[in-house]
Chains A and B, each alone.
Chain A
Amino acid sequence: MKIIVLLKRVPDTEAKILINQEGTGIRKDGVKFVINTYDEYGIEEGLKLKEKLGGDSKVTVFCLGPEESTEVIRTALAMGADDAVHICDPALESPAPFTTSAVLAKAIKDEGFDIIFCGKQGIDDDTAQVQGGIAEALGIPQVNIASSFELSEDGSRALIGRRIEGGNEKIESALPVIVTCDKGINEPRYASLPGIMKAKKKEIRTRTLADLGFDEMPAAGRSKILKWLPLPKGGECRMVEAEEVSDAVKELARLLREEAKII
């Protein structure tokens, strides 16, 4: 089975995110970049499936991003992925989500695929759009926010649990399908030392837009970021104090009712 996993290089969740001086994006100096948290679940799910199927199943990583993305691709290879395709082109510095979809879909189609795993969203721009665009471009079903995944006994269909407000949906899908993973679907493994050594020898194929047969940016210029805005400063916190805890709590309850008018 040809298993595809998608990954994106993003700032670490603990990073403080600030706007750059030109106001055109974020400051990247001093920011640690990692594999998109949710994509780690996708990689793990792909590796688990490969281990279960055995034989000539193969996990190929696809990453669209700047040159520095090689580092996170190597991490995925060290976790156990077999090889990788890195789409890297100066024209793709900050692509609109559907541009990313069109480029990735073309690269995946060229490679051939049976199933695609990725995270439910990038923790940087939070659009959760790329997967829908890929699914549409490839003409395959999509199942988002997966909290569990298995193949049916005969291996012809995917059985996927999906979290929705207030419940869990159980979905049965034909293959191929793109499955986007949520936290909790698995515990991503750490790269082992032998894994890291092996990863150095694994192949990363670099592709430009021209390599993929695009004469120009697909679906270029559909949306434009006009402005980056910092968050408004939070108000002053009113500390509620009293000699006795019970009096302080009583005062808090009163403030919530009379001042905040929330109760």
Chain B
Amino acid sequence: MAKDVLVFGELRGGKVKKVIKELIAAGKIITDGNGGSIDAVLIGSGAEKEAEKIKSLGLRKIAVIDEEILANYSTEGYAGALAGMIKEEGFGYILLGATAMGRDLGPRTAAKADGVMFSDCVELRFEEGKLIARRPVYSGKLSIEIAAEGDYPVFVTIRPNNISPAETGGDSTEIVSRPSGVTQEMIRAIAKEIVPLAGGRPDVSEADVIISGGRAMKDAANFKILEDLADLFGGAVGASRAAVDARFAEQPLQVGQTGKVVNPKLYIACGISGAIQHLAGMRTSKVIVAINKDPNAPIFEKAHYGIVGDLFEIVPILTEEIKKLLN
């Protein structure tokens, strides 16, 4: 069975996403247990320049595919390029970030390359010649450990912020340009434009700090106080399903089972009681702070720090206090 690991370096807006260092660290878990080498591949406009940024992370080779028709992401184009490389060079393990792109590209490429796939993993280990992955199911209400059976390339998407990033060190890695073999006819669904979300804040799935509001926010305009706090950290504003259903917040902000699963360093839940489907989406946050009027709210069972009281009184004071600490 093929031992080598291929790490997919996602480019968005011409920049390689930081999850790549976590993927390389995950790759080392495999090669430490199983031997083999780790290669990376960057596809898209600016690939060569961005490849320089991952040159000293212990990789064997960095392949760059920078062609006109692959300048921007398309499922079919990127899956074609990636599957072609996997088939030709015979990788045993392919690692991608569990981002919007990775979750779209991974399954399609795995199907194309006749592989097996584990989505959204949070932990990997190599044991008795097998890669074992842990992944949450039921939006994090439970998790499972899963392994491949048979000799197939194993595709893994890894949820950001779960594996410590690879450290810089080692010799400079060779960067090689690679033809994709992808033709225009292969790409039938094409992104015509990307409209950035208003507000300029990071997406909840990528933010290090999330300030979330629930039904107790009472009105969309009141989210301003959460935005003020979030902006101190360059963080995101999130919302519970109740707040989204009441139209206080837009759907992309929703955290929970029918929204996004998040994993920030700090999650502050303001006026969120903690319905099971909300807790499922945020419980792995490193530090959880709950602000709620009801001392019996279930959110306090999952929080690390709690304050009982009126969020409209507490949040602005907290913003001022944190501002002082940051200055």
Q: Write the residues of chain A forming the contact surface with B, with a CB cutoff of 8 angstroms.
A: 11, 13-14, 16-17, 19, 26, 37-38, 96-98, 101, 123-129, 131-133, 135-137, 140-145, 147, 160, 163-174, 177, 182-184, 221-231, 234-235, 237-241, 245-246, 248-250, 252-253, 255-257, 260, 262-263
Contacts and interface: CB of A to CB of B under 8 A. Distances in A.
B146 A225 contact: yes
Interface stretch (B35-43, B50-58, B191-199): B191-199
A20 to B, nearest CB: 11
B116 A98 contact: yes
Contact of A170 (B119, B191, B321): B191
A184 to B, nearest CB: 4
Interface of B: 12, 75-76, 99-101, 103-104, 106-108, 110-112, 116-120, 132, 134-150, 152, 188-197, 202-203, 205-206, 251-252, 254, 257-259, 265-266, 275-277, 283, 286-287, 289-290, 295, 300-310, 313-314, 317-318, 321-322, 324-326
Contacts of B314: 245, 248-249
A184 B144 CA distance: 29
A262 B258 contact: no
B258 A142 contact: no
A116 B116 CA distance: 24
A231 B283 contact: yes
Given A123-B138, A123-B139, A260-B287, A253 B119 contact: no
Contacts of A183: 251, 254, 258-259
Given A101-B111, A163-B100, A231 B141 contact: yes
B318 A249 contact: yes
B230 to A, nearest CB: 13
A144 B104 contact: yes
Given A221-B150, A229-B142, A253-B325, A168 B277 contact: no
Contact of A224 (B149, B189, B286, B287): B149
Contacts of B116: 96, 98, 222-223
B305 A255 contact: yes
A28 to B, nearest CB: 13
Given A165-B205, A171-B192, 4 more contacts: A97-B117, A174-B188, A222-B149, A262-B265
- Determine chain A's interface SS by DSSP, over half rule: mixed
B213 to A, nearest CB: 17
B107 A237 contact: no
B305 A237 contact: yes
Nearest to B13: A166
A168 B103 contact: no
B110 to A, nearest CB: 7
A176 to B, nearest CB: 10
Contacts of B110: 98, 129, 132
Contact of A231 (B132, B140, B203, B275): B140
B111 A133 contact: yes
5 contacts: A128-B103, A136-B112, A231-B140, A252-B318, A255-B305
Contacts of A101: 111
Contact of A26 (B107, B142, B302): B142
B206 A165 contact: yes
B107 A129 contact: yes
A224 B111 contact: no
Contact of B103 (A141, A144, A177, A229): A144
Contacts of B325: 253, 257, 263
Contacts of A145: 100, 104
B193 A11 contact: no
B111 A98 contact: yes
